[in-house]
Structure 1
Amino acid sequence: MNFSPQLIALGEYLAGEFDNREQAIADPAWYVHLRLWQRPVDLFTEDSITLFAEQANVINLDQPYRQRIMRLCQGRDFDAPLEVQYYMLQDPGAFKGAGCNPALLNILTPDKLDLLPGCILTVTQEKLASDRYKFIATPLPETRCSFTYLGNVVYVSLGFEATATEFQSHDKGIEPATGKATWGAIMGPYRYTKRNHYSIG
């Protein structure tokens, strides 16, 4: 399928290795120094660009966590022409470390994923230059991203902004009873700088 230039740009901006070193040094009380990998995977290629995402504290790079799949596709609304659908790995442990060791992703197939229906973002873009964009991803109205992990229901508020060199994560864990954020971007987004680019081709 021929993808739009905007979808290709979004995939290229998101694919890579990132960290928030400058932010963690400037404000260590609120921001852990994290490494983030977003690796292209060969799934849903008929209509999507798909990424495996994983992160780790830089002092424990051998203990990555929060594995997830992001499927980037054309949207259904002219005002939000792109969408990101999240999936959960049925066995996250089987792919632990795939950020550093992408060979682990060779056995990843759609039947090893669970669709998260409420975990979907609409993506709009601002044009910065002739071929550069800033992408802004926000939840659909009246949706709630939730899933079951280790027997507990987890609620997450998702969102991000991306340019060719930076990725800002607004992801937060939400306490269902109070609606308050309990982890993640509580004091503002995690601001990552791209350190290494991964090809989506």
Structure 2
Amino acid sequence: MGEALLNQLATHLAGEFDNRQQSLAEPTWYLHLRLWHRPLPRAVFGEGYAFFIEQISVSSGKPPYRQRILHLTNRDDQIWGQYYALPDPVALSGAATEPARLASLTREALIDLPTCKVAIDYLPASQVFSARLPGDSLCSFAVNGVTTYVQLRFDLGPASPAPGSPLVLQLNDRGVDPETGKTTWGPLMGPFQLVKQSAFSLSQ
């Protein structure tokens, strides 16, 4: 069962997501975002499924940002998602739509982020995969010598139980001040609701 759910989650994640409808309905609170999960060759990790992730603010005219790697594995019927940083994220800006640029990426080139590992549970009643950091922990990493703290959280599943209902990625990542616990960036009025627009093949 664990491996079957891992494959289902990877299949759901592989693709392009967009929250255009949400941004039009509530432009004050939600930017129009587009996000990609581009599958990496299985050889990068040798097990599980890995994705190159980046996103773009559609109306800003700025290049994609938040480039990162997510590696999914199954251990004792628990799915885990481990995030990794890239040594030069800007060098791979736009690679989600130009996957040939990812061909030379290796595990050795990735930066370990030991605090950025989420447990992913499957909720059969809603058919949703739910990812959370353990307890009240925060993902931490350094950017230009400054440590950033992030609450990682997402839910992925059909918008409704109806057959053919689109997949929705509810993205609720937030920057957090570890001393005060206050949100420093991220959605203030609930998660971004990104609807899957197209799918990418996992077979590489």
TM-score normalized with structure 1 length: 0.90
Aligned to 2:183: 181
Aligned to 2:121: 124
Question: Partners of 2:9 and 2:202 in 1: how far apart?
Answer: 10
Question: Partners of 1:196 and 1:136 in 2: how far apart?
Answer: 21
Q: SS at the partner of 1:66?
A: strand
Cα distance per residue 1:4-29 (max 9 Å; x no partner):
11000000111100100111011111
Question: Partners of 1:92 and 1:23 in 2: how far apart?
Answer: 28
Give the percent of matched residue pairs that are identical in Structure 1 and Structure 2: 39
Specify the code of the residue in structure 2 equivalent to 1:70. Answer: L
Q: SS at the partner of 1:195?
A: strand
Specify the code of the residue in structure 1 equivalent to 2:132. Answer: T
Cα distance per residue 1:49-80 (max 9 Å; x no partner):
0011000011246510000100000134x5xx
Deviation at 1:185, TM superposition (A): 2.5
| Pick aligned residue for 1:139 from 127, 133, 137 | 133
Deviation at 1:142, TM superposition (A): 5.1
Deviation at 1:172, TM superposition (A): 0.5
1:53 aligned onto 2:53? yes
Deviation at 1:128, TM superposition (A): 4.9
1:109 aligned onto 2:73? no
Deviation at 1:102, TM superposition (A): 1.3
Call closer, same or farther: CA 1:47–1:175 in 2, change over 3 Å. Answer: same
Deviation at 1:94, TM superposition (A): 1.5
| Pick aligned residue for 1:191 from 175, 190, 193 | 193
Specify the code of the residue in structure 2 equivalent to 1:147. Answer: F
Question: Partners of 1:38 and 1:94 in 2: how far apart?
Answer: 17
| Pick aligned residue for 1:82 from 75, 79, 82 | 79
Does structure 2 conserve the Cα–Cα contact (< 8 Å) formed by 1:51 and 1:69? yes
Cα distance per residue 1:143-171 (max 9 Å; x no partner):
32100011211000001001151111110
Does structure 1 conserve the Cα–Cα contact (< 8 Å) formed by 2:17 and 2:36? yes
Question: Partners of 1:174 and 1:154 in 2: how far apart?
Answer: 8
Does structure 1 conserve the Cα–Cα contact (< 8 Å) formed by 2:138 and 2:152? no
Specify the code of the residue in structure 1 equivalent to 2:12. Answer: Y
Structure 1 residue ranges, 4+ long, deviating more than 6 angstroms after superposition: none
CA RMSD of aligned residues (A): 1.9
